[in-house]
Amino acid sequence: MQMKIRESKFELLRIFSMLMIIFQHALERSIPDWGMLKGAFSFNYCVVVLIGIWGQLGVMIFVMISSWFMVDKQGIRMKKVIDLLLEVMTFCIGMLLIFSIVYPKSINIKLIVKELATPAYKQYWFITTFLAFYLIMPLLQKLVSSLSNIALRNTCIVLTLLIPIYNYLFVNVGDTLADFSYIFIMTAYLKRNPDNWFKRNHRMLLLILPLISVSLILFKLFAEHYLGEALLLRMFTMLRGRTFLLFLGCVGIFYTFENMKSIHSSGINLIGSTMFGVYLIHENILLRGETNGASLLWNKLIPIGQSFKSGGVMFSVHYIISVLAIFGICILIKLLHKFTIEKIYTTNQGLIQLGNKLDLFYGKRLWMTHENEKKND
């Protein structure tokens, strides 16, 4: 009997989301502090605000996909945590070894400590936050399953005020972990109510995204001269951060893919499975550079910033081709890792047994009755 290939449309969405993230990273790493938004209006400015500002949207979609498949489950798989930690470790050590050979002057004690301490050291803010989010997911599952539909709706309203709307004014008190938890709880409500308003109006929600870009273009053209560049940057932060407006756009994109006809493609699923690796490779500190420092990848190897400053339509061609090339190279590197090093630890029986024991210790324990808990102790 032929094995059924799992649904691919969400993997396609995952791929699309990672592309949005890399398009943003290419810009913000090449000219720090969003320097591409500063200066006179140009065609290249339009390219930036049309395709290069959606990294946080990609992050929100990633979290929403994970939440969609986890809200109905009871507990997590600790083996997944182990595998992710080992994946991070292998790429960090691999980068250190490669750079110590091909570019030894980039290596110092401080960088070695940072690489070896990841993800405890927040080199990859997304990976560190996602691990914490995944570990508290059983608590979130328990919470949403215990709430009535009305209570869940009211919880979503309160959290919307406290987290994404508050983000318009300040960084919310829980920062990234609060953002991820909010998306989980909202996703639980959306999935529990399949005929919800957001799904019925998802096409309208999609309009938010081009409106954000158009607003930034119009402000640059007609208002920046009078109101100042600082207000443009403030407006930019408010429009493209993890705020409620962008969350609505995230929901619009998610339902666009969710409403698609079923796709079953082993190729799409394989590429989708490499997206964490793609993130780990292109965002490694040795390639992206220190905070406010020059990026080896986006300044020296691929001078995106220099191309932007030179002006002309060739910037958009250079920008798009460069991002797609890096995306493709990272996929190939991750596939090589997937079929070699990753197989060693994903199939290791000792690690599988450790994962099962940790599941019983934590994730599954939350769902046990008092009687069942006594039997397992």
For the chain, what is the HEC assignment? CCCCCCCCHHHHHHHHHHHHHHHHHHHHHHCHHHHHHCCCCCHHHHHHHHHCCCHHHHHHHHHHHHHHHHCCCCCCCHHHHHHHHHHHHHHHHHHHHHHHHHCHHHCCHHHHHHHHHCCCCCCCHHHHHHHHHHHHHHHHHHHHHHCCHHHHHHHHHHHHHHCCCHHHCCCCCCHHHHHHHHHHHHHHHHHHCCCCHHHHCHHHHHCHHHHHHHHHHHHHHHHHHHHCHHHHHHHHHHHHCCCHHHHHHHHHHHHHHHCCCCCCCHHHHHHHCCHHHHHHHHCCHHHHCCCCCCCHHHHHHCCHHHHHHHCCCHHHHHHHHHHHHHHHHHHHHHHHHHCCHHHHHHCCHHHHHHHHHHHHHCCHHHHCCHHHHHHHC
Q: What is the pLDDT along the chain (377 residues), one digit of tens a residue?
A: 344 567 899 999 999 999 999 999 999 888 878 888 888 888 999 999 999 999 999 999 999 999 999 999 999 999 999 999 999 999 999 999 999 999 998 899 988 999 999 988 888 999 999 999 999 999 999 999 999 999 999 999 999 998 998 877 776 667 899 999 999 999 999 999 999 999 999 999 999 999 999 999 999 999 888 888 888 888 888 888 888 999 999 999 999 999 999 999 999 999 999 999 999 999 999 999 876 667 899 988 999 988 888 877 889 999 999 999 999 999 999 999 999 999 999 999 999 999 999 998 887 777 765 555 555 55
The rounded distance, in Å, linking the Cα atoms of 39 and 36 is 8
Amino acid at residue number 33: D
Residues 6 or more apart whose Cβ sits within 8 Å of residue 343: none
